[in-house]
């Protein structure tokens, strides 16, 4: 049984009318959120004099057909997707399909689909459906390889998302089942091998996995459109040496087709309130709340004990920082997120500015944060993200709070109003507030837009680089 072909046949025929209303609404939220995060990443880089991505796009010298958000540049749909996807990962505040595929689909599928749709004059309705197709393909391909894909060191934002982008762009091109199957197979062949060390070790290449998968997905669709062929994601006998079976020690190719039309992976989405790693969202929320309610200053703190689920302890709980750390070090350090939240009683990109990254007092507080596995906290993970933060003060007083469901998790999602506020705060650093509000309204009604390029024009940078 060729499960890739079966999934491709379903996705190629999917229409907007077949999308449940709640799924369509979630996809609109993903579109809104991703574009805000991209602009926020661009604003952060510009304010910190980091113009590497813009310079790279200029060096490519491609034709001008799609917008590189935040820099006032135009490039090819592939290069714009690369830049926008990379910018989406700068703040580490993208949406998450964590409980299932363990990926940030908005970092690749939205940049890839939007860049291609802009260049090809696609309508808002077509864009919405294509993004939904991309998220569904990503969720299913992710479930076919997770969780061992993650534990083997692969980062699904780079690997799995490529398949989702290929599906989204293939849908925009009107692929039938055959071309769609080839696009998915080609994506599985050319996708980047994004790895954990490139993400968790503080290297500045970290954001690129969002952009590389966006660009590679477009390339896969274009190859299929020209007639190039490829085998299924699950492989073929006798060796089955293809994506699903060589990047997972417990492959589950049945996930590609199980529940088609009934199980919608967009329903698994989580949105990040804070620009830090997913595993650090709950600890940051509680630390900020305790510092605010009790008027705690950094110099008042003797030490901090964070008890949470074991994955958070393993991947970010033991990562400590110093004055030489990069933004990417600090975003994936649970102790830094907690310390910065206590120090400033908020966690925005300001807490990752050069001023904060070089503040010895902040890193001294980081060193006083200890993270341990809490008893019973793995029981409902990954649906719930429980955490308890206990702050011991030098006065001898101790304050603590525990939550079971972190803000932004699937069990306690951000509301549409909260997502709009997040979008306005991120995009408003580079774009006039009136245009930002108008863009938010149009994005939430994207189906009514004759050409999605008209919405992007509202978000074009007013101070080009």
Question: What is the Cα 460 distance to its own chain's centre?
Answer: 22
Q: How far is CA 335 from CA 91, 93, 119, 198, 341, in A?
A: 17, 18, 43, 20, 10
User: Residue 21 has which token pair?
Assistant: 């209303």
Q: 137: burial class by Cβ within 10 Å (0-12, 13-18, 19+)? A: buried
pLDDT at 315: 92
Q: Where are the beta strands (DSSP E) in 352-465?
A: 369-373, 387-393, 398-403
Q: Which residue has the tokens 């991947």?
A: 315
Task: Give Rg (Cα) of the chain.
Answer: 21
pLDDT at 223: 98
Task: Report the SS3 class of residue 393.
Answer: strand
The model's pTM: 0.96
Q: Where are the beta strands (DSSP E) in 257-354?
A: 301-308
- C-beta neighbour count of 322 within 10 angstroms: 13
Task: Report the SS3 class of residue 297.
Answer: coil
Q: Edge-to-edge strands of the sheet including 387-393?
A: 369-373, 301-308, 387-393, 398-403
pLDDT at 182: 98
Cα 443 to Cα 310: distance, rounded to the nearest angstrom: 38
Cα 76 to Cα 63: distance, rounded to the nearest angstrom: 5
Q: Note the helical H segments in 48-159.
A: 52-60, 77-90, 109-119, 124-145, 148-151
Q: 259: burial class by Cβ within 10 Å (0-12, 13-18, 19+)? A: exposed
Q: Where are the beta strands (DSSP E) in 347-386?
A: 369-373
DSSP string, 120-140: TT--HHHHHHHHHHHHHHHHH
Compute the C-alpha angle 331/337/338, nearest 5°. 165
Quick one: CA torsion of 18, 24, 30, 31, rounded to 10 degrees? 90
Cα 169 to Cα 171: distance, rounded to the nearest angstrom: 5
Q: What is the pLDDT of residues 142-194, one digit of tens each?
A: 999 999 999 999 999 999 999 999 999 999 999 999 999 999 999 999 999 99
Helices 3-13 and 177-190 cross at an angle (nearest 10°) of: 120
Cα 279 to Cα 56: distance, rounded to the nearest angstrom: 31
pLDDT at 383: 83
Cα 427 to Cα 69: distance, rounded to the nearest angstrom: 10
HSE (side-chain half, CA atoms, 13 Å) at 67? 24
End-to-end CA distance of the chain: 52
Cα 333 to Cα 265: distance, rounded to the nearest angstrom: 28
Q: 252: burial class by Cβ within 10 Å (0-12, 13-18, 19+)? A: middle
What are the chain's domains?
A: 3-271+421-458 (1.10.4100.10), 278-403 (3.30.1330.120)
Cα 142 to Cα 152: distance, rounded to the nearest angstrom: 14
Q: What is the pLDDT of residues 380-436, one digit of tens each?
A: 888 889 999 999 999 999 999 999 999 999 889 999 999 999 999 999 999 999 999
pLDDT at 460: 87
C-beta of residue 85 within 8 angstroms of C-beta of residue 111 = yes
Phi/psi region, residue 62 (left: phi>0; alpha: psi -120 to 50; beta: rest), is beta
List per-residue pLDDT tens for the chain, 465 residues long. 899 999 999 999 999 999 999 999 999 999 999 999 999 999 999 999 999 889 999 998 899 999 999 999 999 999 999 999 999 999 999 999 988 899 999 999 999 999 999 999 999 999 999 999 999 999 999 999 999 999 999 999 999 999 999 999 999 999 999 999 999 999 999 999 999 999 999 899 999 999 999 999 999 999 999 999 999 999 999 999 999 999 999 999 999 999 999 999 999 999 999 999 999 999 999 999 999 999 999 999 999 999 999 999 999 999 999 999 999 999 999 999 999 999 999 999 999 999 999 999 999 999 999 999 999 999 988 888 999 999 999 999 999 999 999 999 988 999 999 999 999 999 999 999 999 999 999 999 999 999 999 999 999 887 777
Instruction: Return all residues near 392 (Cβ < 8 A) that are at least 6 apart.
Output: 301, 302, 303, 304, 305, 398
């Amino acid at each position: 049984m060729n499960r890739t072909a079966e999934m491709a046949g379903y996705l190629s025929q999917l229409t907007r009318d077949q999308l449940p209303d709640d799924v369509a609404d979630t996809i609109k939220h993903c579109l809104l959120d991703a574009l805000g995060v991209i602009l926020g990443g661009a604003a952060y880089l510009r304010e910190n004099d980091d113009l590497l991505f813009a310079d790279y796009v200029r060096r490519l010298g491609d034709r001008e057909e799609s917008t590189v958000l935040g820099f006032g540049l135009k490039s090819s749909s592939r290069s714009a997707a690369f830049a926008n996807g990379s910018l989406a990962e700068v703040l580490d505040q993208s949406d998450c399909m964590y409980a299932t595929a363990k990926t940030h689909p908005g970092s690749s599928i939205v940049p890839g689909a939007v860049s291609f749709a802009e260049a090809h004059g696609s309508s808002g309705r077509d864009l919405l459906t294509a993004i939904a197709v991309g998220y569904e393909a990503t969720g299913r391909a992710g479930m076919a390889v997770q969780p061992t894909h993650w534990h083997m060191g692969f980062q699904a934002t780079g690997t799995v998302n490529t398949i989702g982008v290929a599906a989204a762009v293939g849908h925009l091109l009107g692929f039938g089942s055959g071309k769609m199957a080839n696009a998915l197979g080609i994506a599985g062949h050319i996708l980047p091998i994004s790895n954990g060390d490139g993400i968790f070790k503080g290297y500045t290449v970290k954001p690129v996995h969002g952009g590389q998968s966006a660009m590679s997905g477009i390339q896969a669709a274009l190859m299929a459109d020209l007639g190039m062929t490829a085998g299924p994601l699950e492989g073929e006998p006798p060796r089955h040496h293809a994506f699903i079976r060589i990047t997972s020690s417990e492959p589950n190719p049945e996930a590609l087709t199980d529940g088609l039309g009934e199980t919608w992976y967009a329903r698994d989405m989580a949105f990040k309130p804070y620009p830090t790693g997913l595993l650090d969202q709950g600890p940051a929320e509680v630390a900020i709340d305790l510092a605010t309610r009790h008027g705690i200053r950094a110099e008042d703190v003797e030490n901090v004990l964070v008890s949470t689920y074991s994955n958070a302890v393993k991947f970010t709980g033991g990562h400590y920082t110093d004055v030489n750390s990069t933004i990417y070090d600090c975003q994936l350090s649970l102790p830094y997120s907690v310390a910065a939240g206590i120090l400033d009683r908020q966690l925005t990109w300001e807490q990752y500015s050069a001023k904060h990254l070089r503040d010895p007092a902040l890193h001294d507080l980081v060193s006083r944060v200890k993270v341990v596995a809490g008893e019973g906290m793995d029981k409902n993970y990954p649906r719930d993200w429980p955490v308890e933060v206990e702050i011991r003060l030098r006065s001898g007083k101790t304050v603590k709070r525990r939550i079971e469901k972190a803000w932004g998790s699937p069990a306690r999602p951000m509301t549409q109003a909260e997502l709009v506020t997040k979008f306005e705060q991120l995009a408003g650093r580079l774009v006039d507030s009136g245009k930002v509000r108008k863009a938010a309204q149009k994005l939430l009604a994207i189906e009514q837009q004759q050409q999605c390029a008209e919405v992007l024009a509202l978000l074009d940078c007013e101070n080009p680089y």
